[in-house]
A = this chain, B = another copy of it.
Amino acid sequence: MVPRVRIKDVAMLAGVSTATVSRTLSSPETVGQKTREKVIKAVKATGYRINGAARDLRQRRARSILILAPNLSNTFFSQIFAAIQEEASEVGLTVQISDSRIGRDRLLSLGQDGRADGIVLLDGGLDPDVVNGWNLPLIQLSEWNIAYDAPRLGIDNHAAADLAVEHLAGLGHRRILHVSGPQENVLAVTRQEGFLAGAKKRGIDQSVFPGDFTLEAGAEAARFWSTMQHRPTGVFCASDECALGFISECAHMGFEVPGDVSVIGFDDIDFADRFLPSLTTIHQPRNEMGRTAAKRVIAMMRAAQGEDAEPAPDLKDSIKATLVDRASTGRAAL
A binding-site residues for B, Cβ under 8 Å: 1-2, 4, 47, 49-54, 56-57, 62, 64, 71-75, 77-79, 81-83, 85-86, 89, 94-99, 102, 106, 108-110, 112-115, 133, 135, 215, 244-245, 247-248, 251, 270-271, 273-276, 278, 304
Residues of B within 8 A of A71 (CB): 82
Question: B115 touching A89 by the CB < 8 A rule?
Answer: no
Taking the full assembly, how many copies of this chain does it contain? 2
Q: Within the complex, what minimum Cβ distance (angstroms) separates A39 from chain B? A: 17
The docked-state distance in angstroms from the alpha carbon of A77 to that of B75 is 9
> Nearest B residue to A278 by beta-carbon distance?
B248
The docked-state distance in angstroms from the alpha carbon of A78 to that of B71 is 10
Question: B81 touching A72 by the CB < 8 A rule?
Answer: yes
Question: B57 touching A82 by the CB < 8 A rule?
Answer: no
Please name 7 further chain A to chain B contacts, defined as beta carbons within 8 Å, in addition to the given A53-B57, A94-B115, sorted by A numbering.
A4-B114, A50-B113, A52-B114, A72-B85, A77-B78, A215-B274, A247-B276
The docked-state distance in angstroms from the alpha carbon of A225 to that of B240 is 30
Question: B75 touching A270 by the CB < 8 A rule?
Answer: yes
Residues of B within 8 A of A64 (CB): 96
The docked-state distance in angstroms from the alpha carbon of A99 to that of B90 is 12
A49 touches which of B99, B102, B108 (Cβ 8 Å): B108
Question: A82 touching B78 by the CB < 8 A rule?
Answer: no
